[in-house]
Amino acid sequence: MRIVGVAVGNSRVQVGVVEGGEIRAVRRAPAGNPEDCFPEGERVRPDAVLLASVNPPAEERVLALVRDRFGVEPLRVTSAGGVGLTNRCRPPERVGIDRLLAARAALERTGTDTLVLDFGTAATANLVSRDRVFHGGLIGPGLSLAARALAGGTAALPAVESPGAPPAFLGRSTEDAIRGGVFWTLVGAVERIVRGIAEEWGKPLVVFATGGDAERVAGATRSIDRVVPTLVLEGLLHVHRDRTC
């Protein structure tokens, strides 16, 4: 069986092809140019396409591409009930589907209380318990968004790209100072958030990281146990299994 999972985020689109119950290939492209995830010559009809989106404008373009390339109407996953979790947040429909899918996938991997840190346009922390309950968490700016906010909210600070590797603590230029400030602020927040949520929860937690900046943040802290870039796509695969079993 060939399943295609499509995750439409704020900044990028991910398309994963699942065969034999495993994700065999993943394509990523900017949300403003999703065509790169759907090569023109590829028109193989999959058994099913599942789509989750937190970006309505990009979602419309992606839907058109799915229909054109695959000739099927995708199943849109939009609620906690559809993800197989009980959602304790209020109102539940306001919780981003990407947060819920990543939490479901991480729980399937651990089978125990798990904290999922997602480092994308936004940086989120999301707690899911072994009894399949999503307890919410925190939302803050990701690296690129924080850097853009500095440039947009000040008169003289320049726009910079987020660092590819952990920057020095002592920035010798304004640009390096911004890169270091944005990066190490997020790393410090991660360490405090993980500790604070663990104390508030009162039980051991496994900590996962996902999202575009997960590798670079995880490499700078010991607060993260595992990095899995494909958690949202894995969550879509579990949704498909739920509906076909």
Q: Which residues does the annotation mark as catalytic? A: 98
The C-alpha atoms of residue 87 and residue 27 are separated, in whole angstroms, by 30
Structure tokens at 235: 């969550």
Q: Mark residue 118 as left, alpha or beta (left: phi above 0; alpha: psi -120 to 50; beta: remaining).
A: beta
The three-class DSSP label of residue 168 is coil
With a CB cutoff of 8 Å and minimum separation 6, the contacts of 73 are 49, 67
| Per-residue burial over 66-80, b = 16 or more CB atoms within 10 Å of its CB, e = otherwise | beebbeeebbbbeeb
| Edge-to-edge strand list for the sheet holding 12-19 | 22-30, 12-19, 2-8, 48-53, 75-76
In 3D, which of 172, 190, 181 has the Cα closest to residue 149?
A: 181
Q: Mark residue 190 as left, alpha or beta (left: phi above 0; alpha: psi -120 to 50; beta: remaining).
A: alpha
